[in-house]
Structure 1
Amino acid sequence: MTRRLLFSYLTLAVLLLLALEIPLGFVYSRGERERVINAAQDEAESVSAFASLSISMGRAAQDLPERAAHCAERIGGNVLIVDQAGVLLASSHPLPEQERGRLASQPGIAAALRGTATADVRTSTIGGVEYLAVATPVTHGAVRQGAVRITVPTRTVHERVHHVWLLLVAGGLVALIAVAVVGFGIARWTGRPIRALEDATHALALGGTAVPVAITKGPPEVRSLAATFNRTAARLEHLLASQRAFAGEASHQLKTPLAALRLRLENLENDIALGARGSLTAALTETDRLARMVEGLLAMARLDESAAEPEPIDLALVCVERHHAWRPLYERHGVWLALAGDYTGKVLALPGAVEQILDNLLSNALRMSPPGSTVSVDPRCQKTPDRRFPHRPTGAGWVELHVMDEGPGMTDEQRRRAFDRFWRAPDAPKGGTGLGLALVQRLAHASGGEAVLRRAPGGGLDAVIRLPAAPSRTGIAPPDRRRPARPPQTAAPGRG
């Protein structure tokens, strides 16, 4: 902001200086030219009067050369005096013979010999030098006696004009330096509270404590903004503190009554009639479902208030660990859990996010998979553009994690709504809460990735999690991915 303000101040200063100094320079140039012309005219009239007196007294040959030389030295130019016939009487500089014979025909001298009342001012080039020529008639009463021509080199005028332009440029630079110094101070004074607001905003965005910003410095608008920020930050900190308190206390406050409720329901099993056993089993199932729903809500609450940054996670290692953890449960249900794909290296994700994503996807896949089917966990390196992620960059910097089942799958409309909280497919098995896929998507987004559902090649569901790849290092060996033998085909027990 300081640079932008300083640039705007300097731009305005430059425009103002150009608007003032350029016209001033041209006005001075024109005035300097007119001053030199007027001075030459006055000098020519003075020499003309002296020449008239000398010619009348018959002393032209004695007095005029000295006068011409003295005048030429004073003005820094040349002085030429001729009689009425155009014959040279005096000259401050030597003239060739051929030029002496053409003096009467030169425009300025010819006009003066005709007795022109106004001086004839012409700009001519003599000897390669540009001169300003002034010619005046020499008269005694009504008698024309000759003419005087004074030539002044325009170099003198140009030097004076250049000197003035240099003074104007130097003055403009001094003014710009002064504006830069003053503008920098004003910009720093104006931007200091805004930088403080920016630092406080960054600290608040990264999960730090909201530090109040001073509201006694800077322009009134910035002070008002600082006051509004302080109120907003204080309110936000209060809300976050309340949410943290809820996330920390709700687990104990909710889990304990649910556990007690389940225990009491289980104790009723021996005292309840056989006809009511079905209702008791349904109540226990709903209690378990409520407990899982509480766990999902608490996980989302903790994710909302978490400010953790993604860090490198070994995706292949996590897949192996979750495969070993879920394989026994899959075997009891008669479903084969396969681990495929190549070593993909590390991905960037929140701590624990990949484990939670896999647990939720594997749990959903198990509920939807019939006995004898296969669920595949397949991490892949994504190197080509993918139309399923139009708003995400593509290339070698992304890794896809596929969890594919051979269940009934979902329609296009169901796949679009599957990530909504508490939404469950009409034909979904009992026991779900409608929060698993919503949590998966939130974890993927918080890790800088994306989650999408599509139809699997075998007709089931293909859950695709796309995560950014971490910078790779050479010399890392892939983890041991030994697969267990396929379990025997057995009837699956009831699914909860």
Structure 2
Amino acid sequence: MALVLLVLEVPFGFVYARSELNRFSNTAELGAVTLAAVCEEKLEHGLASDLPELARSYAQRTGSSVIVIDRSGRVLTDTVTSAAVGRNLSSEPDVVMALRGRPATGISEDVAPGGKVLFATVPDTSNGPTPCVVRTLYSLAPLAKKVHATWMALVLVAVGVLIAVALVGFVIARWTTRPLRALEQATTQLADGRLTDPPAADRGPPELRRLAASFTRTATRLQHLLQTQEAFASEASHQLKTPLTALRLRLENFEPHLAPCAQASLNEAIGEVGRLSRMVQGLLALARLENSAITPENVDLDAVVAERASMWTAFAAEQSVGITVTGANSGRRVWAVSGALDQIIDNLLSNALHVAPPETTITLAIAAAPADGGRMPAMVELHVIDQGPGMNETDRQRAFDRFWRAADTHHDGTGLGLSMVQRLTDASGGDVTLLAAQGGGLDAVVRLQPVMTARLRRTARRTPS
């Protein structure tokens, strides 16, 4: 709208100013011609003494100054000053043109002191030699004032139009964005796990009404699916445990009645039932994790690592494997979902114990990954390092896929442990990667966001950039 007003009003303002100047010039020239005819008549009748009064009367009526010049170019009368009478103006361009019978009009700063004036210098209307010339001078101040007033009116009109358009736009914007804000709030509620205030489908433009109705249907369907999945996760844990346990007991009851040659097959069947039971438990745990609303909490990383290492030491000792902890005395605290650190460490230690050869050591190392410039820790790293066979690059990239197990694996894992580690780490705002350990083995690196204590903030402020 501002551009439209600019394109329309600016040319109109210039055209108006030019037309007013032309009209003013034409009026001044026409009046000068009429006065010149009267002065000619006075001179023909020998009434030259009437010229001063005639000129003063015309000047007062029109707001101009008048100079009457004879055919030789000498001033006969001047309404501004009587001292100019007798002065020769025959060399001035407008007077020269008028003495030759051609009128001259325009704007000049030379014909009169005090700035720009509009002059109209015209000869009389006789067909013979010009007996006199009349020069009228007009101040441009009234014309400039009128043009400025017009420009001001145009500006006020433009401002009024812009204000009206802005108000209309504001009303339309609120009408349009209010449903969007409702959709934003509903999306936030749905992301938090429960849509309690669905957006109204009868406000705003038709497109947003249809969007709100579609969103409400989608959210309702998603909540129904989530509720169904939650119900399945809670019921399946009870419904699947019983038949799997009964199946295992029945298989074990077959043992006294089987021939020795079938003992190996029975042991394999019992092992597969156990693996199936653990797989079901893992799937249910993942389902519960994905359905729950999780918020990271302030957790003492050192304390959790020390506790889990102490608990797993006895199991590791049965396989002649040692567990050591390094870097656990720095008092680091991290953000993690409640109980996530325990499950992450348990799954990583369980995987490490399955592949760790006897007489080797599993290392739990805590370190800080420096941010840009090394001013403060950007992430806190927990390394679980074993001395097993390790993995190649392809296997390390696929290790977090559900149910994936390496082709050369010899243990009865379910392929869900690392998937759960990745899910818990992501929910805590961190990430997990698998690297090749120095000297062989696997280095599982869990990165978590540190909690900035007052001591760390003071240290960061004192550290030079």
TM-score of the superposed pair, with normalisation by structure 2:
0.92
- Deviation at 1:171? 1.2
Q: Is 1:418 matched up with 2:399?
A: yes
Is the alpha carbon distance of 1:288 and 1:56 closer, same or farther for their aligned partners in structure 2, counting shifts above 3 Å? same
CA distance in 2, matches of 1:169, 1:385: 54
Q: Which stretch has the larger CA shift, 354-363 or 309-318? A: 309-318
Q: What does residue 106 of structure 2 align with?
A: 122
Question: How far apart, in 1, do the equivalents of 2:86 and 2:106 lie?
Answer: 19
Amino acid at match of 1:122: G
Q: 3-state SS of the aligned residue for 1:401?
A: strand
State the shift of 1:34 in Å. 0.9
Partner of 2:137, secondary structure, is: strand
Question: Aligned partners of 2:277, 2:343: CA distance in 1, in Å?
Answer: 17
Question: How many residues are matched?
Answer: 454
- Alignment correspondent of 1:468: 449
In the alignment, residue 66 of structure 2 is paired with which amino acid? Answer: V
1:10 is matched with which residue?
Answer: none
- SS of the aligned residue for 1:299 comes to helix
Shift in alpha-carbon separation, 1:340–1:90, aligned structure 2, 3 A: same
* Other-structure match for 2:463: none
Q: Distance in 1 between matches of 2:253 and 2:354?
A: 28
8 A contact 1:310–1:350 mirrored in 2: yes
Q: Which moved more, 1:394-403 or 1:178-187?
A: 394-403
Whole-Å separation in 1 of the counterparts to 2:372 and 2:250? 56
The question of 1:50 aligning with 2:38 is answered: yes
Question: Structure 2 CA distance, aligned partners of 1:72 and 1:264?
Answer: 131
Q: What is the deviation of 1:48?
A: 1.2
How far 1:384 moved relative to its partner?
Answer: 5.1
1:438-477 alignment, distance < 5 Å = 438-474=419-455
- Letter in structure 2 aligned against 1:15: L
Q: Is the 8 A contact 1:344 1:399 kept in 2?
A: no
Partner of 2:284: 298
Mapped pair 1:365 → 2:352: yes
C-alpha separation in 2, matches of 1:100 and 1:255: 131
Which runs of no fewer than 5 residues in structure 1 stay unpaired?
1-12, 387-393, 477-496
Shift of 1:59: 2.1
**Deviation (angstroms), 1:467:** 1.5
Say whether residues 1:428 and 2:409 are aligned partners.
yes
Which has the higher mean CA deviation after the structures are superposed, 311-320 or 278-287? 278-287
**CA distance 1:54–1:242, change in 2 (3 Å):** same
Moved more, 398-407 or 145-154: 145-154
Does 2:226 correspond to 1:240?
A: yes
Deviations 1:404-430 (A, max 9, x none): 001111112221221111111122232
- The question of 1:67 aligning with 2:35 is answered no
CA displacement 1:342-393 (0-9 Å, x = unmatched): 426222222222211111100000111111100011111100579xxxxxxx
Alignment match, 1:3: none
Q: Is the Cα–Cα contact under 8 Å of residues 371 and 378 in structure 2 kept in the other structure?
A: no
Alignment of 1:49-448 (within 5 A): 49-61=37-49, 63-94=50-81, 101-116=87-102, 119-125=103-109, 126-140=112-126, 142-209=128-195, 211-342=197-328, 343=330, 345-383=332-370, 396-448=377-429
What secondary structure, in the 3-state scheme, does the structure 2 residue paired with 1:68 have? Answer: helix
Change (3 A) 1:385 1:461: farther
How far, CA to CA, are the matches of 2:137 and 2:321 in structure 1? 114
CA distance in 1, matches of 2:18, 2:67: 26
| Inter-CA distance 95–229: structure 2 relative to 1 (3 Å threshold) | farther
CA distance in 2, matches of 1:403, 1:150: 104
1 CA distance for matches of 2:83 and 2:173? 70
2: CA distance, partners of 1:475 / 1:420: 37
Secondary structure at the aligned position of 2:365 is classed as: strand
**CA deviation map 1:269-301 (0-9, x unaligned):** 444444433333222221221111112111221
Task: Tell which deviates more after alignment, 431-440 or 301-310.
Answer: 301-310
CA gap of 1:53–1:240, structure 2 versus 1, over 3 A, is same
SS at match of 2:124: strand
Q: Percent identity?
A: 46
Give the whole-Å Cα distance in 2 for the aligned partners of 1:154 and 1:170.
24
Q: Which amino acid aligns with 2:423?
A: R
Residue 30 (structure 1) aligns with: 18
8 Å Cα contact 1:139/1:145 also seen in 2 = no
Determine which structure has greater relative contact order: mean sequence separation of CA pairs < 8 Å that are 6+ residues apart, divided by chain length: 1
Sort the Cα spacing of 1:353 and 1:455 in 2 relative to 1 into closer, same or farther, 3 A. same
Q: State the secondary structure of the residue aligned to 1:431.
A: coil
**CA positional deviation for 1:460:** 0.6
Contact 1:130–1:155 (Cα < 8 Å) also in 2? no
- Tell me, yes or no, if the aligned pair for 1:345 and 1:472 is still in contact at 8 Å: no
Q: Which residue pairs with 1:40 in the alignment?
A: 28
Residue type of the alignment partner of 1:449: G
The SS at the match of 1:355 is helix
